[in-house]
Structure 1
Amino acid sequence: MDQWAPRLDLFHPEYPAFQCGGLTQYNRGAHHLDPAALGGEVADWFNAKVSIARAGVAAYPAWEPAEAARKLLWLLSYDTAGIKRAAPGDPLAQRGKTYGARPGPAGIVTHLHVEGHTLKDVLLLALPPHRTAGDAPVWEQPPPTAVRTREPRGRLDWLTWPTRRVRLRPPAEDGAGVDRFALHDGDRIPGDAWALAHAYDPMTAWSTPASGRGRSPLRFTDESLGVPKPWTAALLLEPTATPRPQSSAVLQHAVEAAARGVIPPDTRLRAVFSGIEWGTQRAVISNDSVAVIELGTAGQLTDPDQRGVMAARARYAEAVQSNLRRATREISGRPVDMVRKRMTLTNLDYAWERTTAPDCTREASAREAATKEWRDTLREAAETLIYQFPMDPRLQAKLSQTCMNAAPPAEESSQGAARRAEPRRPRRTPPATRGPGRPAGGTYEAFGGRYTLSQISNLEQCVVSYNTLRNRLTDPEHSDRRWTPQEVEEAATRPAARGRRRTTGSDQ
């Protein structure tokens, strides 16, 4: 701290903390430092100070230095994509602007950290020891000057990435605080940002296709209603030797720490998920979702069999949700979007918390009773949705019988899970189905198979309409472009902007 104290000075004249001391033209007012400003015009409905400042009616109040420091870090992490003012000397500048700026590394993934009893627990559980040669946080590097396109040096460089060139205007001697600041595009990330985030940020959670090719941020909320799924964290509790679809380095670190006895067995642990939902082209933030999900105790995480029980219960919830929607579409013939919104399992937080209690996973008899209670709760919730769905009562009865007769996945130990993960024959590509609009002309590799756009739009993983998917995967300037599986999966899993009835070809 003594060595690097000058680099952590918010208003140092040469190298202010997390900023660029060479900037002297302050092109943004105080309201641009408010996180609400990243919500676009919609934010004006919820933040009167930002709305008034944008309209020029009154100035946004200056920020106290401590608060300005916190907002600075928020801006560097989550600033939106799009057109930005070019920093002096930026090689990609066009008439003083840059195009295609990306959000910061923190804004493009699902984050996950594990909470214990104390702040020390949080810090030690969130950051497994890892430092490579040459790696350094931004304050230990030379002050940023010219904007570069470069590879990260390691985890510390990635977590403090200078995604924007910023400088807060120091308060005048008689001033109240920070009233203006400079904002320009910053260092650019080459290649696949998701792959870099997976490699350098342990506080992330990922979903991987069964084929093992590619990955995307794990969704912890339902794609239709945005409500958290309380069993999501347990999906990450599969044994470490299993090539599982979901993964999280920080949760694996917590399990290993519990197994070493570092954490007292009775310590109740929670997984805290967070993720940004973006509008079209990530130009605005439409939501900032956070969910705190029970993991059980450190003692439970130490026992592979108890982890397997919780993982199996989570898989059962996923299976019930998936089967319910699939059967509803087939039997009712209702639109996909309507089925997703009406057939979403909700209000199961307390039921999940009960099923993760130590007494519900430790002994065989209690384990069996708790599993039955969890299954009964899920089936009751599904029954309620079925009989609230607008269709003929005879079809409701048929749907109920179809869903309730589905066999649940068996609870298993770590050895059983490993056997289940042995290589399986490739999944057959489903027959082509006609989605909204005209059929797609070609096929795309994604989600472990090769599908037409119409087939992708009907997969459970897809959260957008056929038209939105088609527009995102249309390149008017390069009609023969080949899309990578990661690009196709991102186009299918990134929610569309709320409040828009249609998308355009620029939504890619």
Structure 2
Amino acid sequence: MAEFDLLTRPWLPVVSGEGPARVSLREALEQAHEVQLAVPGPEHAALLRLLLALHAAAARPADEKQWDAAWRAPTLDTGRIGAYLDAHADRFDLLSDQHPFWQSAHVTEATQDVRGLDARYWSSGVPQFAQDLMRDPEPMDAADALVGLVMLQAWHPGGIRTGHPADPATRAGKVYGSKPGPLSTVTHLRVTGTCLKDELLLNCPPGVRAPGDCPVWERDSPAVPMRKREPAGPLDWWTWPNRRLRLFTDEDDRVNGIALHDGDRPDSPDQCAARLDPGAALTGRGTRLAVTDGSGHLLPWAPATLLDDSRTDAGSCAVLDHVTAAAERGALPPEMRVEATVLRAEHTTGHRAALSGITHLSAPLGPAGVLADPGRRARLVEAARLPWQVQREITHTAADTLGLLAKTVQSRADLSLALHLTTGWEEFTEAPDSAADRWRECLARAAEQVAGAKSSGSRTLSGARIHVAALSALNSTAPTTAEDLPV
């Protein structure tokens, strides 16, 4: 009988001082102080959720005192983690007949080949341009298929799924209205760490398990039919069985086909993420934090606006609240650089039935000592809001002088302030206490460049008005409200 034990077989891509390697789940947690995940952003986020759920189920600090002790400890609590893994060891076999990991044992027939595990295959129009996806695929190693499975459960878009005959929701072979995966519905933020141990602790605020909250491996293998239910807590949500999935293997134990049907369906994945995912990055209106402007340029200062705790219309992220509180307690070294990685899925339609891309943003937040001091943190937030203020005036003035709709102006790259601020925010956050004037100078130069693009021929007056409006906004003390920030 085929088997692939996640706790003992090497499959998780990591890097250590000895270079890249694959390790088992048990090894990853035992060596968490020595390794880092070694995968791109979307895979990193999906795999980290699995590891967060595993660590939290086994050894999550219950309060800040316990968290501080865990942060100071040289390793994770390998005793508690090892005992937990031993107690649930029979639930971590990828190819088990009774409890295949994060799959449904009751699904018995493949519906498609292994290309269904490739995120590119979920994207609108991509297969026709990716030559390797046009060819019949080779069977996959179980380790690679496992990474694909975790990705699929986290990121898969919604829409229409192949219906199973045993699912009453099936109509003409299809199930309609499936929900997008947990990561596909929210702007997701994680604070990076120098090792896996730090990353797990930084992204898991202390707390106790809610009644009924348990990860997928503590539950029975789900029945085939799509089920409507609400997640009981973060452990449930981190390992949400978004799809009824099953891997099938050939005689060499290589995965050569998959079954894919609709799985557990919450009423609103967006609200579940906002309520249960500590990495959910939300605006003051409760919408997903924007990480690009209307013309697609990255906004690395956007996450810093979530550090504002002085206003009711400010955005929020539980991970940032947790890291800020740890900095205020002195648990984090003042010189420690805090940096966020932010991901946001975009879809081709309002039904979110196909991915059009996943935006990846690296966002430095400055030293922990700045986050620890309310006054210094407030100045950091103020600096992060300045680009919004300046861009708002550029947009309004350009729309007025050029006779364009504001939405049209927002989509034009030549009127994007962010285009000219590629390195300015990173340089500012290296020493925010002493670089405030340089950041304003950087914004002023960027505004001048935007205005200059409109200062030729008959548009000279338009460029001048844009420049004056931008400088006025830069020197204004008027606060930026939630309505000023893009979504």
Report the TM-score, using the length of structure 2 for normalisation.
0.77
Aligned match of 1:101: 178
Task: Tell me which moved more, 90-99 or 70-79.
Answer: 90-99
| Structure 2, gaps ≥5 residues long | 1-84
| Superposed CA offset, 1:417-461 (max 9, x none) | xxx89xxxxx9xxxxxxxxxxxxxxxxxxx88xxxxxxxxxx974
1:10 equivalent to 2:98? Answer no
CA RMSD of aligned residues (A): 2.2
Aligned match of 1:354: 427
Aligned match of 1:217: 288
| Superposed CA offset, 1:297-324 (max 9, x none) | 1111111111111100111111001111
Aligned match of 1:187: 264
Aligned match of 1:430: none
Deviation at 1:160, TM superposition (A): 0.9
- Compared with structure 1, are the counterparts of its residues 314 and 260 closer, same or farther at alpha carbon in structure 2 (3 Å cutoff)? same
After superposition, residues 79-118 of structure 1 pair within 5 angstroms as 79-118=156-195
Question: Which structure 1 residue ranges, 4+ long, deviate > 6 Å from structure 2?
Answer: none
How far apart in 1 are the matches of 2:280 and 2:450? 33
Aligned match of 1:257: 326
Deviation at 1:129, TM superposition (A): 2.4
The sequence identity of aligned pairs, in percent, is 33
Deviation at 1:338, TM superposition (A): 4.3
Deviation at 1:43, TM superposition (A): 3.9
Q: How many residues align?
A: 395
Asked whether the 8 Å contact 2:386–2:474 carries over to 1, the reply is no
- Compared with structure 1, are the counterparts of its residues 8 and 69 closer, same or farther at alpha carbon in structure 2 (3 Å cutoff)? same
Deviation at 1:88, TM superposition (A): 4.4
Asked whether the 8 Å contact 1:87–1:165 carries over to 2, the reply is no
| Superposed CA offset, 1:96-134 (max 9, x none) | 321111111211000001113221111101111232021
Aligned match of 2:226: 147
After superposition, residues 31-430 of structure 1 pair within 5 angstroms as 31-45=115-129, 47-52=130-135, 59-130=136-207, 131-145=209-223, 146-172=225-251, 174=252, 177-190=254-267, 192-209=268-285, 215-222=286-293, 224-239=294-309, 242-280=311-349, 281-340=351-410, 341=412, 342-345=414-417, 346-358=419-431, 360-361=432-433, 366=434, 370-389=435-454, 392-406=459-473, 408-410=475-477
Secondary structure in 1 matching 2:451: helix
Asked whether the 8 Å contact 2:249–2:255 carries over to 1, the reply is yes
| Superposed CA offset, 1:13-64 (max 9, x none) | 111000001111111111121111011323432x221123xxxxxx211111
Deviation at 1:383, TM superposition (A): 1.3
Secondary structure in 2 matching 1:14: coil
Task: Tell me which moved more, 280-289 or 384-393.
Answer: 384-393
Aligned match of 2:5: none
How far apart in 2 are the matches of 1:307 and 1:113? 19
Secondary structure in 2 matching 1:27: coil
After superposition, residues 433-452 of structure 1 pair within 5 angstroms as none
Deviation at 1:287, TM superposition (A): 1.1
How far apart in 2 are the matches of 1:221 and 1:347? 14
Task: Tell me which moved more, 392-401 or 268-277.
Answer: 392-401
Aligned match of 2:71: none
- Compared with structure 1, are the counterparts of its residues 326 and 105 closer, same or farther at alpha carbon in structure 2 (3 Å cutoff)? same
| Superposed CA offset, 1:349-406 (max 9, x none) | 4211222223x41xxxx3xxx2222112111111111121375212322332233223
